[in-house]
Structure 1
Amino acid sequence: MNPEEIQSIEPALGTGIYTVPDVAQILRLPLTRVRRWLDEFWNGRLSATTKISYSWGKGRERVVNFQTLIEFYVFFKLRELGISTPKILQAHEVSSRLLQTPFPFASSFLLTDSKTLFVEIGNEILITADARLQYEIKEVMEGFCRKIEFDADKLASKFWPLGKDRSVVIDPQRQLGQPTVQGTNILAETLHRLHLGGEDTPTIAQLYGLTQTQVEEALFFVNRPVQ
């Protein structure tokens, strides 16, 4: 494959800008795992199908967009279900062509109808008519979709990592997509740093015009354990 055929996705306002450490922090995944996935899978095998590079920049300065972050999460959840990496990658390649998007794992067509679509594209790829696994995939994807808002192009556009009933949101339209308190531009990390500096929850809430619950949820988000 000619490297010149691969187009790079450059960072832009409104698409989210995430370094590899950002992705690891937001999804609570080991940094080495995220880096390996990006190099071996997205910028390796998958780019051969989609003809794009999923990152921009070099070394520690490499960044990915919001849809790639969502795809990493879906990949992780499928691996948790015991589906092999080769089968997941093959499903990505097939569904990318079927849905005509380089981000099929961030598409509502796949995520909201995962049972049907995964069976159709994966009868000999992802799963083999295993009713238990089909059910588990459906349950995981439906649960994930309840944390996502989709845009007019049926791609994920916002992500509530703790659920929509909690205040932390990943919105590419705010603060370059870094985790914020919903409805504000206040970074969860800003509140976390104040807390580390010795400020208590009521004081932080008063300083930023937030409720104590909003502050507590932001602190919980930043401090939750690595999966």
Structure 2
Amino acid sequence: MESFQMDGLIGIGAYTPAEAGRLLRVHPSKISRWLRGHSIQGKLYEPLWMPEINLDDERVYLGFRDLMEIRVADAFIRAGVSAIRIRATIMAAREIIGQDHPLSTDKFRTDGREIFLHTVETDEYGQERERLLNLFRQQYEFKGIIDPILKTVDFSADGNPLVWWPGGRKLNVVVDPARSFGQPIDARSSVPTAVLAAAGMQEGITGAALAFAVTEASIRRSIDFESLMKHRAAA
């Protein structure tokens, strides 16, 4: 990670567009456009949303919630939804559920063709009532887009993302904004995968495992994960 002030970022995570792009398989320039805004032929396109982190240095930094928001936004855009519609959806959902990063929550549902926002309302008698709000009325094929995204994230009881398993749960690598500023870590030991992978390459699997008091499997998984990240960055 590039060096910048980390005070106050514990529990938020901190990523440059390059780091976010490597994790998300989204080009860093696209991430910057989405969060900074851009103009084409004199027409100004506003940011899709404002990132969690603002260090007042005119550079883009992302928090953990921004990562989760981008995962869903990118999935929608790949499915053919325009960035303009994504922006409108974020604004509508933000007002309904009171979240600055509504796409990162687990509130979305799909019937295979349309997208709904799942909300729980309390009536004047204190009774809770579930409501599904149709956010997309065009006939996009969304089946299989949202569920895989949700399955690799642990959510709190109120639907907010807590941690992400970027390589799937079996790989045992986790992105947790409360640990190591949100950098990928070995879930068992909390040691960054970049550290374990580098040690494994330099000292060998057994030596690195002994040095960091982790299992040899943790070293192997970290090497596999970091190799995957390097491949994504080079793609």
Deviation at 1:140, TM superposition (A): 2.0
Which is strand-richer, 1 or 2? 2
Contact 2:12/2:177 (<8 A) preserved: yes
Matched residue of 1:157: which SS? strand
Matches within 5 A, 1:1-227: 11-40=8-37, 44-47=46-49, 54-59=52-57, 62-110=60-108, 113-115=109-111, 116-117=115-116, 120-123=134-137, 128-130=138-140, 133-135=141-143, 139-196=144-201, 198-224=202-228, 225-226=231-232
Q: Distance in 2 between matches of 1:188 and 1:120?
A: 40
Q: TM-score, normalised by structure 2?
A: 0.74
Q: Distance in 2 between matches of 1:88 and 1:106?
A: 13
Q: Which of structure 1's runs of 4+ aligned residues deviate more than 6 A?
A: none
Which is helix-richer, 1 or 2? 1
Q: Distance in 1 between matches of 2:81 and 2:192?
A: 35
Amino acid across the alignment from 1:129 = Q
Change (3 A) 1:58 1:148: same
Q: Distance in 2 between matches of 1:219 and 1:33?
A: 28
Matched residue of 2:35: which SS? helix
Alignment identity in percent?
18
RMSD: 2.6
Contact 2:33/2:47 (<8 A) preserved: no
Contact 1:192/1:219 (<8 A) preserved: yes
Change (3 A) 1:11 1:81: farther
